[in-house]
Amino acid sequence: MTRGRHRRTCNRCGAEAPRFYDHESRQNWCADCLAKTLLVGRCYWCKRAEPTIRDLDTGYAWCTGCATDTVLKGDPIDHYEELTPEGAEYTRLLLSKGQRRTNPGDED
């Protein structure tokens, strides 16, 4: 997410406040809508799906699809908590790829 001059209004509310442009979704966000979207419980990356895991290092919540993409790209989220039963799908994928999950209570 970057600040940009791609469009003068927020795609969601139409406000002409400071803007943030998401290159992945090609959406423009004002600071208020961006904060509301992140606080309502949407995936950090796609901002559309319900999150199933939370990265304990960054605090970001991820949906199963976006979290799976991190594994396939070679940079998995390994210190996380499952937020929903669907989070177990990510755990199974992580283990099938030979990655080790760091449990929330483990110390580095």
pLDDT in tens, 37-96: 555 578 888 888 888 998 888 878 899 999 999 999 999 998 998 988 888 999 999 999
Q: Please tell me the predicted confidence (pLDDT) of residue 42.
A: 83
pLDDT over 90 at 103, yes or no: no
The 10s digit of each residue's pLDDT in 5-43 is 555 777 777 777 556 777 766 777 777 776 665 555 788
Instruction: Give all domains of the chain, ordered by start, each with its CATH number.
Output: 1-39 (no CATH), 41-108 (3.30.40)
Tell me the CA distances in angstroms from 50 to 35, 40, 45, 54, 105, one per residue in order: 16, 9, 11, 11, 25
User: Which pTM does this prediction carry?
Assistant: 0.58
Specify whether the CB–CB gap between 20 and 29 falls below 8 A. yes
Q: Please tell me the predicted confidence (pLDDT) of residue 66.
A: 94
Q: Please tell me the predicted confidence (pLDDT) of residue 105.
A: 56
Instruction: Give φ, ψ of 40 to 5 degrees.
Output: -70, -25
49 three-class SS: coil
The token pair at 22 is: 């998401």
The single residue listed with the structure tokens 């442009």 is 21
Specify whether the CB–CB gap between 90 and 64 falls below 8 A. yes
